[in-house]
Structure 1
Amino acid sequence: MKVMRISIWPGAGQPYGDVLEAARHAAETGWDGVWIADHFMPNDGTGADPLHPVLECGSLVAALGAAVPRVRIGTLVYGNTYRHPAVLANMAATVDQITGGRFTLGVGAGWQINEHDQYGLELPPIGKRIDRFVEALHVLKGLLRSPRTTVHGEYYQLTDAVCEPKPVQDPMPIMIGAKGEQRMLRVVAEHADMWNTWGRPDVIAHKSAVLDRHCASVGRDPASILRTAQALTVVDGPIPDDVSMPVIGGSRKQLAADIEEYRAAGVDELIVPDGLLGTGATKFTAMDTLLSLVRP
């Protein structure tokens, strides 16, 4: 049986104490990782209160890295349009130092429109956004993995730049969040140590096969890229009628079947958002059930 990691994704729209409790429960009970999304406000069109508080990702991963032992800590994923990649490289190296080498730098091209509109951040058309993201990856990989980095690009210019201290890990893994099959999955094939996207097992199997083909075209061993995926998860209860995102579970039997389909699709790590797991003791019971299904 393929060994599949399982990690929790506590939503940043809840109090820090609740995020910390979920992360500590994961660490104490045998989960593999904790992931935090990079957003500043709820997305328009989701029905969420537009003024609902959302904690900032970089601060959260640093705090969790210091307070929670053993598990890997990662970003799911930093939006490239929010921070200069040289600033992000220094943030990532610092969190890896804090965690003693347990950090995974998850990055993506950026997408949430209302955040860019409210903060006056440029959100280029998708083609230019990907071009900018690829340049950012050269900046990140250079600063995190080389003594000095020079990049003379269209979007970023670095001259003999340093980033010290380096991460504890050599190299620190870079995960790319991507679903676009023509360009973004090729960027994954060229640059990523790990890949992430939303989807039920059939979607993940299809996109993973597309990634394999991109790997073949660039001369990359597909097995060198770890595959991670997530869907909203329901444990021992009905699936809400108004859910628009991919969702798994419901009954325990269906949840076990969904987990096995992810395993068969080659998923290396299943990431579980906590949004439909309940709160307090209910959430921890759901987490324990999930862990028992992934590791019978």
Structure 2
Amino acid sequence: MIRFGVHSGQQYTRFDDCLALWTRAEELGYDWVSLFDHQRPPLGGPDGPCLDGPTLLAALAARTRRIRCGMLVSAVTWRHPALAASIAATLDHVSGGRLEFGVGAGGADLGYDQYGIPFPPAEERLDMLDEACEIMRGLWTHERVDHVGKHYRLVGACLEPKPLQDRLPLVIGGGGEKRTLRTVARHADVWNTLVTDIDTYRRKQAVLRGYCAEIGRNPDEIRVSMTFRAVLAEDEALVEERKRERLALLPAGSSDLSEYLAFGTARQCVEALLPYVRLGVRDFLLGLRPPVDWETMRIFAEQVAPALRSAADESGPVPWNEGGQVLDQPDPADRVRR
């Protein structure tokens, strides 16, 4: 089953603004909505807004009912993995068993300098990530955990209550081919990356399959997830205008530019995503930052998502009509009611 989600982040000045996005995502029939777990995201500048990740996720999970609630992803530099495991278990209870908890080795964040938080070299952080995954899974599934590693030590460690889900999905974010993908093969239920060109993505998949073969794991056990951005319009005449409006909101040289997969109509977005569907990607997460592009959010849910679901079904083609609209659109409210 293909899932479609919104990656909202938390660069908001008011809780109600983020809640409005999550509520709308559920109304539109999205399957997933997620935060990141930065402290001071570089894109917002040295004094930009950023609400706390786990606290915000708990509040949003308590105010939604159906949608999967994701953390994408929490850096191992912020918390001891036992504390992260406890936070995740609590979030799973708050959400009624809808959490998908992501971890990563961490990247650029102004919080390290501003708050004096240590930021070890990449090799050390990757070691920490591998240990953290083992510790979190152990605490979620075993009565007691002993662990003596290079970075962490647990003695008779207990975590109660356990998560509601029998296996809380552990998402690992990143595409590093030497270390991160090896950790994905060992520990991940879901592998998430930012969008890349198709040849690069195909190579990373091959590397991951190789690591799975080394440890005897079936790579099909790992759900493949991709985060991207897009600017969509109802017809081609509006595309350039909408593109200019959205890109004007980004600072010069923004790293977000590389994450935009499509500037176009719903049909063009489907054509851009189809090669990834054929490579086995099953979670497509639309990145949205404030000010939220509500039009793209709506078009993606109402036209792109059903067309891609149809295309993934080998029994039929993408159901476009002559005007470029997808046919037989499901009522998003029906999905919420179900």
| Structure 2 residue corresponding to 1:7, chosen from 5, 8, 19 | 5
| Structure 1 residue corresponding to 2:106, chosen from 110, 115, 118 | 110
Q: Which deviates the most, 132-141 or 272-281?
A: 272-281
Q: Alpha carbons of 1:196 and 1:248: their partners in 2 closer, same or farther (altered >3 Å)?
A: same
CA distance in 2, matches of 1:276, 1:64: 17
Matched residue type, 2:104: G
Helix, strand or coil: the match of 2:100?
strand
1:201–1:258 contact (8 Å) kept in structure 2: no
Helix, strand or coil: the match of 2:58?
helix
Q: Which deviates the most, 156-165 or 132-141?
A: 132-141
**Which runs of 5 or more residues in structure 1 are unaligned?**
none
1:104-132 CA-partner distances (Å, limit 9, x unpaired) = 11000112242212221221111111111
Partner of 2:36: 37
Deviation, structure 1 residue 216:
1.0
Helix, strand or coil: the match of 2:110?
helix
Deviation, structure 1 residue 26:
1.6
CA distance in 1, matches of 2:15, 2:204: 34
CA distance in 1, matches of 2:181, 2:60: 30
2:36–2:73 contact (8 Å) kept in structure 1: yes
Helix, strand or coil: the match of 1:248?
strand
| Structure 2 residue corresponding to 1:247, chosen from 255, 260, 266 | 260
Identity %: 34
Matched residue type, 2:272: D
Partner of 1:257: 271
Partner of 1:153: 149
Partner of 2:208: 211
| Largest Rg, 1 or 2 | 2
Q: Alpha carbons of 1:28 and 1:244: their partners in 2 closer, same or farther (altered >3 Å)?
A: closer
Matched residue type, 2:201: I
RMSD: 2.0
1:78–1:107 contact (8 Å) kept in structure 2: yes
Matched residue type, 2:163: P
Deviation, structure 1 residue 18:
2.1
Deviation, structure 1 residue 276:
8.3
Matched residue type, 1:33: W
CA distance in 1, matches of 2:147, 2:93: 25
Helix, strand or coil: the match of 1:124?
coil
Helix, strand or coil: the match of 1:245?
helix
| Structure 2 residue corresponding to 1:127, chosen from 123, 127, 146 | 123
Deviation, structure 1 residue 274:
1.1
Matched residue type, 1:269: D
Q: Alpha carbons of 1:21 and 1:289: their partners in 2 closer, same or farther (altered >3 Å)?
A: farther
Matched residue type, 1:169: Q
**Which runs of 5 or more residues in structure 2 are unaligned?**
234-238, 311-338
Matched residue type, 2:120: P
TM-score (norm: length of structure 1): 0.91
2:232–2:296 contact (8 Å) kept in structure 1: no
Aligned residues: 291
- In the alignment, is residue 71 of structure 1 matched against residue 67 of structure 2? yes
1:196-225 CA-partner distances (Å, limit 9, x unpaired) = 111135133331222111111111101000
CA distance in 1, matches of 2:197, 2:59: 33
Q: How does 1:1-296 map to 2 (within 5 A)?
A: 3-14=1-12, 15-43=14-42, 46=43, 48-200=44-196, 202=198, 203-236=200-233, 237-238=239-240, 239=243, 240=247, 244-252=257-265, 253-275=267-289, 278-279=292-293, 283-285=297-299, 287-295=301-309
